């Protein structure tokens, strides 16, 4: 089944029309980032073509890559350790050619001719529980309270201990110099 660029654009448009889809994608990406998936070759170049698709316990997203830039399967293997499902498939992307002459239009229409390019599709089914656990860990770090007075006190103690360290160092240097 060939993917049309129009479908990809419509999916992106739908995401930006709803805050919940955008937040879900941010959580999905946070999981990929925290699990260091982007360390593996070509994972950064992936483009969302479908999703997020919500199920009761899972969220599914499908990404595409040019055929020559297949994402390293070791990244997908890492996701398997966290109860994700990863499916790889080859497909084609249908997109309009750049119109430069009247011959670039479909006969009898004002629509440009279409071109096909081979692509890799990677469908990732991720448990909602995993997304919540990683989001919770991030929220714990963000909401950690720091007492500004404690920080200032630590700096002051650090400065005074550095001053005494400098005096001791100077005394040692003076004692070790030949007279």
For the beta sheet containing 85-96, the strands, ordered from the edge strand earlier in sequence to the opposite edge, are 3-4, 85-96, 114-127, 58-66, 47-54
Tell me whether residue 120 is in a domain: yes
pTM over 0.85: no
Q: Are residues 159 and 73 in the same domain?
A: no
pLDDT in tens, 80-97: 999 999 999 999 999 999
For residues 14 and 151, the model is more confident at 14
* Average pLDDT, rounded, for the chain: 83
Q: Are residues 27 and 109 in the same domain?
A: yes
Cα separation, 71 vs 64, whole angstroms: 9
Q: Are residues 41 and 104 in the same domain?
A: yes
* Residue 161 pLDDT greater than 90, yes or no: no
Alpha helices in 35-147 (DSSP H): 73-80, 128-142
For residues 177 and 60, the model is more confident at 60
pLDDT for res 4: 78
Collapse the DSSP code of 92 into the 3-class scheme (helix H, G, I; strand E, B; otherwise coil) and give the result. Answer: strand
Place of tokens 């390293």: 72
Cα separation, 117 vs 99, whole angstroms: 17
Q: Are residues 76 and 160 in the same domain?
A: no
Q: What average pLDDT does range 101-123 have in this prediction?
A: 93
Domain extent for 153: 149-176
DSSP string, 125-156: EEEHHHHHHHHHHHHHHHT----HHHHHHHHH
**Band of residue 148 on the pLDDT scale cut at 50, 70, 90:** low
pLDDT for res 3: 73
Q: What average pLDDT does range 37-65 have in this prediction?
A: 95
């Amino acid at each position: 089944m060939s993917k049309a660029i129009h479908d990809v654009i419509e999916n992106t448009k739908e995401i930006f029309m709803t805050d919940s889809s955008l937040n879900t994608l941010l959580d999905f990406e946070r999981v990929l980032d925290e699990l260091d998936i982007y360390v593996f070759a070509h994972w950064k170049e992936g483009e969302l073509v479908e999703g997020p698709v919500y199920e009761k316990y899972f969220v599914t997203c499908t990404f595409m890559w040019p055929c020559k830039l297949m994402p390293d399967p070791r990244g997908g293997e890492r996701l398997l350790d966290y109860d994700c499902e990863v499916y790889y498939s080859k497909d084609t992307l249908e997109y309009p050619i750049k119109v430069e002459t009247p011959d670039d239009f479909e006969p009898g229409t004002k629509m440009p001719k279409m071109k096909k390019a081979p692509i890799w599709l990677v469908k990732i089914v991720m448990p909602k529980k995993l997304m919540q656990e990683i989001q919770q860990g991030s929220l714990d770090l963000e909401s950690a309270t720091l007492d500004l007075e404690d920080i200032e006190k630590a700096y002051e103690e650090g400065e005074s201990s550095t001053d005494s360290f400098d005096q001791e160092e100077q005394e040692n240097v003076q004692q070790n110099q030949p007279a």
